[in-house]
Chains A and B, each alone.
Chain A
Amino acid sequence: MGNAASNPIGVEWFGLVMGLGFVLSFGYWCTDFLVVQRAMAANSMSAARRTPLIAAVPKMLMPFLVILPGMLALVVGQEAPKPRRDVAATPAAAVATLAGNPGGAAVQATATPRAPQAIVERSRGIIPPKIDPATGEPLRDNRGRLVLDYDLATPMMLVKFFPAGLLGLGLTALLASFMSGMAGNVTAFNTVWTYDIYQSYIRPGQSDGHYLRMGRIATVFGIAISLAAAYAAASFNNIMELLQLVFAFVNAPLFATFALGMFWKRATGHGAFTGLLSGTLAAAVHHGLTLPAGAHAGIKGGYFGVLQTFPSELAQTFWTAIAAFTTCFVVTIAVSLLTKPRPDEEMKGLVYALTPIQKDADEPWHRRPAALGAVVLVAAVALNFLFW
C-alpha cells in the first residue's frame, strides 16, 4: 500500500483514503439523492437518522454479491466441461446468448458451436472475453491479453447453475433490482429538476399542472440520458469504474458544499454555487488532462491533452474526486468570505451550531443512532481485518 506500484489499482494510500475513503464515500452516503431520499421519507427525525445506518448493513455485504460471483466464475469453469444437451448449458452457447445476440443466434450456436468454442478456450473460467462491437473479435489490452467481460460473471453463473424455474426467479430478481434502482434515480432526477431548479429559479409561481407536465418531460429526458449513459458505460471494463467517475464529478464537489453548508454558518449561497460550479469544472479539467494507462483520449479522459497517466481508471477517478472536492471546498470558503453573511436567525435549523441537538438517551439502545453507528463501524473494521 506504501507506493502505487505495489497494488493492482495503482493507487497509493493517500489517494485511496482521501479519494475513496473520504470524498467518494462521504459524498455517496451524505449527498446521493437515492440515499437521502429514503431518509426524507422517514416518519420521524429519529427514524431518519437511523436510515443510513441500517442501510449500511446490507451495503457492507455488497462485496459478497459483486466480487464473489466474479471470483467463483473464474475458477468454476476450470474443470473439464461436460457436454450437455440443454440450451445455453454449454459455455459456448451461453457466450453466444449473452454476448449480445440472443434469440436466433443462440439456437444456431447450439447447433454449430465451432466459432464461439474458440473464444471459450481462450477465456478463463466461465467468463467470456469482451467482444469488440465493431469487429466482432475478442478485445485485447495493449499487452495482448484478453479483456474479460466481468459484467457477465453473474449472468454466466445463473445460466450455469440455475435450472429452469430458479433461473426465471433469478432473472426476475435481477430485473426487479434494476427497475427499482432506475425508478429511484428517475424520481430523484425529475424531483430535483422540477422542484429545486425549475420551480425555484426558472418559472416560479405556476400551476400544479404546469409542474406536473414539466416533471413528465424531465422523466422522459432523464430516461433518454440514462440510455445514452448505458452506451457510454459499455466502454468501461466494469460498471463500478464508471459509477465512481460519475460520483467524482457530481457527488465529490456536492459533498464539500454540504459539509460547509451544514457546519460553517459563515458559508453563503453565492459561495456554495461558485464552489460547486468550480468543483465540477475542476473534475472535468483533471479528468481531461489525465488518462489511465492503455486508454485512448475520449470518454476515459485526456480530452484536453495528457499531462499525467494513471495506472488504472480507479486511481484516476480517486484523484479526480480529490481535485473536485478540494477546489469546491477552497472556492466556497473564499467566495463566502467575500460576500455578505446571513444573520444567525435565518440559519436556525440549517447549520449544526444553531440547531438544537436531538436527544435520544431515553430510547432503547437499538434505536439510538450512536449505538447503531458504533455497531456498523465495528462490523466494517472486523470485515476489513477478515478479508485483509
Chain B
Amino acid sequence: MRLDIRWPIGLMFAILGALLAVYGGVTLGRPGTAPAGVPINLYWGLVMLAFGLLMLAGATGKKKED
C-alpha cells in the first residue's frame, strides 16, 4: 500500500486549522487575542483549514483517477 502524502498533510492542517479558527472565533474581541491589531488566530486558522482541505481534495481526487 502506498500512502498519498497529501492525506497526512491535509488531515494535520485541516484539524489544526479548524481548532485554531474555532478558538479564534470564540475568543474574538477579548483582550490579548490580537497583539498586532488583527484577529490572527481566526484568520490563520482559516488559511490552514483551506490549505488542508485543498490537500485532501487533491488526495481524494487522485483516487478516482486510478
Binding partners A and B: yes
Point out residues on A near B: beta carbons under 8 Å: 84-86, 89, 160-166, 169
B33 contact from A84, A85, A164, A169, Cβ within 8 A: A164
Tell me if B41 and A165 are in contact (CB < 8 A).
Answer: yes
Tell me if A165 and B24 are in contact (CB < 8 A).
Answer: yes
Tell me if A162 and B32 are in contact (CB < 8 A).
Answer: no
Interfacial chain B residues near A166, Cβ < 8 Å: 20, 40-41, 44
Known contacts: A166-B41, A169-B20. The answer to whether A161 contacts B33 by CB under 8 A is no
Known: A89-B35, A169-B44. 18 other contacts (CB 8 A): A85-B32, A86-B32, A161-B35, A161-B36, A161-B40, A163-B32, A163-B35, A164-B32, A164-B33, A165-B20, A165-B23, A165-B24, A165-B27, A165-B33, A165-B41, A166-B41, A166-B44, A169-B16
Known contacts: A165-B41, A166-B44. The answer to whether A160 contacts B20 by CB under 8 A is no
Interfacial chain A residues near B36, Cβ < 8 Å: 161
Tell me if A163 and B20 are in contact (CB < 8 A).
Answer: no
Tell me if A163 and B16 are in contact (CB < 8 A).
Answer: no
Point out residues on B near A: beta carbons under 8 Å: 16, 20, 23-24, 27, 31-36, 40-41, 44
Which chain B residue has the least Cβ–Cβ distance from A170?
Answer: B44
- Bound CA span A84–B33, Å: 12
> Considering residues A160, A162, A164, A166, which has the most beta carbons from chain B within 10 angstroms of its beta carbon?
A166
Which chain A residue has the least Cβ–Cβ distance from B39?
Answer: A163
A-B contact pairs, 29 of them (CB 8 A): A84-B32, A85-B31, A85-B32, A86-B31, A86-B32, A89-B32, A160-B35, A161-B35, A161-B36, A161-B40, A162-B40, A163-B32, A163-B34, A163-B40, A163-B41, A164-B32, A164-B33, A165-B20, A165-B23, A165-B24, A165-B27, A165-B41, A166-B20, A166-B40, A166-B41, A166-B44, A169-B16, A169-B20, A169-B44
Interfacial chain A residues near B27, Cβ < 8 Å: 165
- Bound CA span A164–B24, Å: 9
Interfacial chain B residues near A163, Cβ < 8 Å: 32-35, 40-41
- Bound CA span A165–B18, Å: 12
- Shortest A67–chain B CB gap in Å is 20
Interfacial chain A residues near B24, Cβ < 8 Å: 165
Which chain A residue has the least Cβ–Cβ distance from B16?
Answer: A169
Interfacial chain B residues near A86, Cβ < 8 Å: 31-32
- Bound CA span A8–B7, Å: 47
Which chain A residue has the least Cβ–Cβ distance from B48?
Answer: A169
Interfacial chain B residues near A162, Cβ < 8 Å: 35, 40
Interfacial chain A residues near B20, Cβ < 8 Å: 165-166, 169
Which chain A residue has the least Cβ–Cβ distance from B40?
Answer: A166
Interfacial chain A residues near B23, Cβ < 8 Å: 165
Interfacial chain A residues near B41, Cβ < 8 Å: 163, 165-166
Interfacial chain B residues near A85, Cβ < 8 Å: 31-32
Which chain A residue has the least Cβ–Cβ distance from B33?
Answer: A163
Which chain B residue has the least Cβ–Cβ distance from A84?
Answer: B32
- Bound CA span A255–B43, Å: 46
- Bound CA span A161–B32, Å: 10
Interfacial chain A residues near B35, Cβ < 8 Å: 89, 160-163
Interfacial chain B residues near A165, Cβ < 8 Å: 20, 23-24, 27, 33, 41
- Shortest A244–chain B CB gap in Å is 32
- Shortest A82–chain B CB gap in Å is 10
- Bound CA span A169–B47, Å: 13
- Bound CA span A260–B31, Å: 63
Interfacial chain B residues near A164, Cβ < 8 Å: 32-33
Lowest 4 CB-CB distances: which A-B pairs, in order? A165-B41, A163-B33, A86-B32, A161-B36
- Bound CA span A84–B32, Å: 9
- Bound CA span A89–B33, Å: 12
- Bound CA span A166–B46, Å: 12
- Bound CA span A165–B44, Å: 10
Which chain A residue has the least Cβ–Cβ distance from B24?
Answer: A165
Interfacial chain A residues near B40, Cβ < 8 Å: 161-163, 166
> Considering residues A89, A162, A165, A169, which has the most beta carbons from chain B within 10 angstroms of its beta carbon?
A165
- Bound CA span A163–B45, Å: 13
Which chain B residue has the least Cβ–Cβ distance from A163?
Answer: B33
